[in-house]
Structure 1
Amino acid sequence: MLKNILVISAIVITTILSGCTAETKQNQTQPPLQPIDVAEVLIKPVQTWYTYTTRIESPEEVALMPRISGVITQITFKEGDHVAEGDLLFQLDKRPFAAIVSSLEAQVISAKAAFEQAKSEAKRAARLSERKAISTEQAELRESTLLQRKAQVAALQAQLDAAMLDLEFTSIRSPINGIISRANITKGNNIIAGQSVLTSIVSDKKMYAYFDIDERTWNKSFNNVTAEKKQKVVMQKVGQTTFPYAGYINFIDNRINPSTGTLRVRAVFEESEDQLRTGSFARIKLAANEVTEQIIIPSRAIGTDLKNRFVLTVGENNILQYKLVEVGERYGKYSAIISGLSEGDIIAVNGPARVGPGMPIQPNNVELDITGIAFTLSNANNNNLFAKY
């Protein structure tokens, strides 16, 4: 009897010890919960932003050519410098033109003297004709001579004016304010009127950017836009990660291009720091007029599963859940969610990088920073409109 009691006691003790050992092993092998940054989705009023490519153009561009032929004796500008309207750029040899002016001035003086003599003889002939002292035919001849002398003076004066213009054109001046290129023809070379391109000048106080908006987009989002309303746009150059240049639409073409189904639009950008150069490739963004409230989340929180886009949300007991979403417009590092999420949802901020659906996590609440992000046109007045993406 005693022997049976001892056996039963040993079995019970062994069972208890085995359970404790198993529980200890289980506690030792269960990993701690992974801390994951989470945040509540944002609800923001947004506008759809459209992006177009363009090339920057100057409103005024001049290929400078001479009005007369001659030899360059002086170049007075510094290549690549700013020039003002009226600044002397090239000087041609004046001497041949000055000689022509002097010759014509002498001819005009002689012609005026002959005109005065003809005028005096015509007056005398008129008096004599009244007294019948000379024939009518002689009086008319002197009147005709007077008219010829007057015409001769006018013709020579016109030649003198043209010669003086040619003399003035030996000083080649800038026709606009802007930045000048290099000199294509140097001192000592002969240039030909209307053919030789001496240099080029582009205005630099404002710049244009033309782009084409398809007819469907225009009718949907910009149908009530006019040039007078100065619809705001922003622009970035190649290599830039933000859109630091703010401008507005100042021209809308009067017809849809039937070949492409697009409307040509022009934006203007004020230029005061010599940062915009004609011919540069650029991207333009402009916002649709309609403002709607949408859910905003970080773009990195969105995962891709074959053809689907999804977000991991925090459910009961801090277990991640898989939610399909429809992604809308992107605003810097953030994206709008058209469907799939609701106000109050908590998301995994960094997406499925280290976690997946069904995993329990240790949530670490963070605040989403949307400083400097332009969700609507009213935010588009700062110089850091769109963060890098």
Structure 2
Amino acid sequence: MLRFKLHKLTAIGTFIILVTACGEDNSQAQSQPQPAKTQIDVAQVIAKPVQAWFTYTTRLQAPQQVALKPRVSGVIESIEFTEGQKVNEGDLLFRLDPRPYAAQVSRLKAQVESAKAAFKQAESEAQRAQRLRKRDAISAEEAESRATAVAQAQAQLAALNAQLAAAQLDLDFTQIRAPINGTISRAEITKGNTVTANQSVLTSIVSNEKMYAYFDIDERTWNQHFSDASAEDQLPVVMQLLGNKKYSHQGNVDFIDNQINPSTGTLRVRATFPARAEILRAGAFARIRLASQEAAQQVLIPEKAIGTDLKNRFVLVLDEHNTLQYRAVSLGDKYGEFRAITSGLANNDIIAVNGPAKVGPGMPVAPRKTDLDASSVALTLKDQAEPALLTAKQ
């Protein structure tokens, strides 16, 4: 009996110790803190109309440019323009000393009058010879000689009239006028200097109503993106001048060459821009952007949100349980800090903004919501232009 009581007491004691130990373990487990979830920035993707484009460099050219040379030699008597001003076709620019040419005109005018008198006399004698011939008062040979003299006098008069016209042209050419509308440069040769016909460059004039920008598109790009285009389509382009941040000028493609250059594998294309108050100048360096297609809606995400593994580009997408999921994506063009996604994401997807830098697929996170803002990013050619500036300058 005593032994039974001892066993019973021992069992009860053991049970109490076990219960106490389990209670302590549960208490310690409950009091141990759970690991904190990683906080990350997440945002809903944005969908915007975007447009792919190509950039080319060029220098502007004026449609018309003239190196002005005199047509006759002489001494510059006066300069009739202000350097750098606009001139119109026909405006007087230089005067050469006209006196030598005026003297030549006067001399030839006198010779023409003399030839007219000789012609009139020969004509009168020929008529008289015809009357005398009818009465057999002169020989047929004499009558024919007088008729020939009329033809010679007439030819002499015509030759002198031609010489007089040429001399008058030379006299007129002593007044050098603008052959085109445009902006004139400085006078290269000043008053009192002698100039040589068709050799001395007096100044230059460039037209200023519009500017041309020629650029070359490689054959592969043309065939992939522009093969159906023609000059009649007037493809829109935008242009940036050196030193400017914006593509502030809008124009159109108005010329496409008729063959690809076999030496370079490129096709020459020309864009035309209105000059607008001399903002554009011939010879200026410029960048041209040409769009290959109309704007289309695409998903945009920050470039830093995209990760790379051995096979794919991927994005971490937040699910309804705040767990990150792996999503393979196909990339489109880049627009500033954003990248267009052509497949793999929907408009309502929420992504890890900073990508897989500190987190990975399958990881539960504490999301910190932010908004993506692409309002300052040029997504189409129209976004790159400055409509207010263009309106003011037109």
* Common fold by TM > 0.5: yes
Name the residue aligned to 1:255: 259
Name the residue aligned to 2:224: 220
- In structure 2, give the amino acid aligned to 1:373: A
Using the TM superposition, give the Cα deviation of residue 310 of structure 1 relative to its aligned residue in structure 2, in angstroms: 6.3
Name the residue aligned to 2:241: 237
- In structure 2, give the amino acid aligned to 1:142: R
Of 60, 67, 77, 1:56 maps to 60
Contact 1:372 1:384 in 2 (8 A): no
TM-score, normalised to structure 1, is 0.81
Within the alignment, does 1:280 sit opposite 2:252 as a pair?
Answer: no
SS of residue in 1 equivalent to 2:144: helix
Name the residue aligned to 1:344: 348
Of 295, 303, 310, 2:299 maps to 295
CA distance in 1, matches of 2:306, 2:177: 61
Contact 1:71 1:93 in 2 (8 A): yes
Name the residue aligned to 1:206: 210
CA distance in 2, matches of 1:190, 1:311: 77
Contact 1:69 1:190 in 2 (8 A): yes
In the superposition, relative to structure 1, how do residues 120 and 261 fare at CA in structure 2: closer, same or farther (>3 Å)? same
- In structure 2, give the amino acid aligned to 1:270: P
- In structure 2, give the amino acid aligned to 1:357: V
CA distance in 2, matches of 1:163, 1:303: 83
Of 370, 375, 384, 2:375 maps to 370
Contact 1:313 1:320 in 2 (8 A): yes
CA distance in 1, matches of 2:213, 2:339: 27
Using the TM superposition, give the Cα deviation of residue 337 of structure 1 relative to its aligned residue in structure 2, in angstroms: 2.3
1:143-164 CA distances to partner (integer Å, 9 max, x unpaired)? Answer: 1111111111111111111111
Using the TM superposition, give the Cα deviation of residue 112 of structure 1 relative to its aligned residue in structure 2, in angstroms: 0.7
Within the alignment, does 1:356 sit opposite 2:358 as a pair?
Answer: yes
1:314-338 CA distances to partner (integer Å, 9 max, x unpaired)? Answer: 5566567776655422345543123
Contact 2:37 2:366 in 1 (8 A): no
1:243-290 CA distances to partner (integer Å, 9 max, x unpaired)? Answer: 121111111111111122211111111122211111111111111136
- In structure 1, give the amino acid aligned to 2:236: K
1:218-240 CA distances to partner (integer Å, 9 max, x unpaired)? Answer: 12211111111211111111122
In the superposition, relative to structure 1, how do residues 158 and 288 fare at CA in structure 2: closer, same or farther (>3 Å)? same
SS of residue in 2 equivalent to 1:110: helix
In the superposition, relative to structure 1, how do residues 106 and 300 fare at CA in structure 2: closer, same or farther (>3 Å)? farther
SS of residue in 2 equivalent to 1:275: coil
CA distance in 2, matches of 1:75, 1:50: 47
Structure 1 residue runs of 5 or longer lacking an equivalent are: 1-7
CA distance in 2, matches of 1:177, 1:207: 14
SS of residue in 1 equivalent to 2:222: helix
Contact 1:326 1:337 in 2 (8 A): yes
In the superposition, relative to structure 1, how do residues 304 and 121 fare at CA in structure 2: closer, same or farther (>3 Å)? farther
CA distance in 2, matches of 1:118, 1:303: 105
Number of residue pairs matched by the alignment = 366
CA distance in 2, matches of 1:68, 1:288: 52
- In structure 1, give the amino acid aligned to 2:73: S
TM-score, normalised to structure 2, is 0.80
Name the residue aligned to 2:185: 181
Contact 1:67 1:169 in 2 (8 A): yes
1:167-220 CA distances to partner (integer Å, 9 max, x unpaired)? Answer: 111111111111111111111111111111111111111111111112222122
Matches within 5 A, 1:1-389: 36=41, 38-289=42-293, 292-299=296-303, 313-314=317-318, 326-332=330-336, 334-347=338-351, 351=354, 356-357=358-359, 360=365, 363-366=368-371, 368-370=373-375, 373-375=378-380, 383=387
Contact 1:212 1:264 in 2 (8 A): yes
SS of residue in 2 equivalent to 1:124: helix
Using the TM superposition, give the Cα deviation of residue 342 of structure 1 relative to its aligned residue in structure 2, in angstroms: 3.6
CA distance in 2, matches of 1:305, 1:70: 80
In the superposition, relative to structure 1, how do residues 95 and 310 fare at CA in structure 2: closer, same or farther (>3 Å)? farther
Using the TM superposition, give the Cα deviation of residue 131 of structure 1 relative to its aligned residue in structure 2, in angstroms: 1.7
Stretch moving more, 152-161 or 293-302 = 293-302
SS of residue in 2 equivalent to 1:243: coil
Structure 2 residue runs of 5 or longer lacking an equivalent are: 1-16, 390-394
SS of residue in 2 equivalent to 1:278: coil
Using the TM superposition, give the Cα deviation of residue 78 of structure 1 relative to its aligned residue in structure 2, in angstroms: 1.6
Contact 1:221 1:290 in 2 (8 A): no
CA distance in 2, matches of 1:184, 1:362: 73
Contact 2:45 2:372 in 1 (8 A): no
In the superposition, relative to structure 1, how do residues 248 and 333 fare at CA in structure 2: closer, same or farther (>3 Å)? farther
1:99-128 CA distances to partner (integer Å, 9 max, x unpaired)? Answer: 111111111111111111111111111111
Structure ID, larger Rg: 2
In the superposition, relative to structure 1, how do residues 301 and 153 fare at CA in structure 2: closer, same or farther (>3 Å)? farther
Contact 1:39 1:347 in 2 (8 A): yes
